[in-house]
Amino acid sequence: MNSIQKKVFGSLFCCPAHSTHWEEENNLSHYIFTTLPAISALLFLFPSTRRILTSLRVALVQGVSIMASMQKRLQKELMALQNDPPPGMTLNEKSVQNTITQWIVDMEGATGTLYEGEKFQLLFKFSGRYPFDSPQVMFMGENIPVHPHVYSNGHICLSILTEDWSPALSVQSVCLSIISMLSSCKEKRRPPDNSFYVKTCNKNPKKTKWWYHDDTC
């Protein structure tokens, strides 16, 4: 604290010590000409405080706006999934009873594919930045499809979930991509690095730096 700041703080916070003197002299001018200038000087010396408070207020308003936009978008997509789900997909209604930011979608393997008749579950998690931020999507439950791009912990190697994501896409888009990925599979097998990946990866598949080496991943 420099000498000017010390004087300002001294003038401002030493006021109670002068209260007896003010009462004895009953001199309002003493307060006007000592304390008020000190407060003004304090604000002058620390303009960054005003900037910080203004920035916080703006950020709060923007945050509320983004959350409202996200919830509106999710409500719209939720209704679309309920009323017109992709083939073999059904929204698990219980999963959205208490929250709109985490969905479970029940899935059945398409007829004529290696997964025909098999039942799976997809977990969708949405951040407060959705749809600008892609959802976290993974298979869950006891039956994880055996596929070259699906790890045994449910993580999915699919570019639409990370670098190819766009706010124009939706839950429906993701579901259709996963249906296509499974339906085009020619051989049931795990990714070659499955054991190592499952032991070392983050629980959130979006934290993985995926390497997309073909058109089906």
Express each pLDDT in 53-110 by its tens digit: 566 665 555 555 567 788 999 999 999 999 999 999 999 999 999 999 999 999 999 9
Q: Which residues contact 74 (CB under 8 A, 6 or more apart)?
A: 100, 101, 126, 130
Active site residue 157: yes
Query: How far apart are alpha carbons 145 and 129 in whole angstroms?
Result: 29
Q: Decide: 157 and 177 in contact? Cβ < 8 Å.
A: no
* Predicted confidence band of residue 52 (pLDDT cuts 50, 70, 90): low
All residues at 6 or more sequence positions from 85 whose CB lies less than 8 Å from its CB, including other chains: 91, 175
DSSP 8-state code for residue 189: -
Catalytic residue among 157, 175, 201, 217: 157
Mean pLDDT check: name the lowest of 26-30, 67-71, 98-102, 197-201.
26-30
Read off the tokens for 129: 């930045």
Q: Which of 80, 75, 161, 87 minimizes the C-alpha distance to 124?
A: 161
> What percent of the chain is predicted at pLDDT more than 90?
62
**CA dist 83 → 68, 89, 91, 161, 172 (Å):** 23, 11, 10, 24, 12
Q: What is the pTM of this model?
A: 0.69
